[in-house]
């Protein structure tokens, strides 16, 4: 089955490390990254969708970050 995650966070190196970790665990980038200003907190935020093929069947209780 194909699984999907949306990674998000403040525009810091921590976000880049989060995406890098996912890529090294077999996730693939899906689509373009997003970048938006969070006016309430005065920071830029980033987002990136990733997908991965895994064995098994979909379960809504599946913890995607553990795959």
Full domain range(s) for residue 46: 2-57
Residue 21 domain-assigned (yes or no): yes
Residue 21 is predicted with a pLDDT of 96
Task: Give, as one character, the DSSP assignment of residue 65.
Answer: G
Q: For the chain, how many structural domains are there in total? A: 1
pTM of the predicted model as reported, rounded to 2 decimal places: 0.86
Cα 28 to Cα 2: distance, rounded to the nearest angstrom: 11
Q: Is 90 exceeded by the pLDDT of residue 67?
A: no
Q: Does 39 map to a domain?
A: yes
Q: Summarize pLDDT for 3-51 with one digit per residue, the tens.
A: 999 999 999 999 999 999 999 999 999 999 999 999 999 999 999 999 9
User: Given this model, what pLDDT does residue 64 score?
Assistant: 84
- Domain membership flag for residue 13: yes
Flag whether pLDDT at 66 surpasses 90. Answer: no
Structural domain contains residue 65: no
Cα separation, 50 vs 25, whole angstroms: 11
């Amino acid at each position: 089955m194909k699984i999907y995650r949306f990674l998000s966070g403040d525009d810091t190196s921590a976000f880049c490390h989060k995406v890098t970790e996912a890529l090294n665990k077999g996730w693939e980038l899906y689509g373009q990254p997003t970048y938006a200003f969070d006016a309430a907190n005065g920071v830029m935020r980033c987002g990136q969708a990733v997908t991965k093929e895994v064995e098994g069947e979909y379960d809504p209780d599946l913890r995607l970050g553990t795959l």
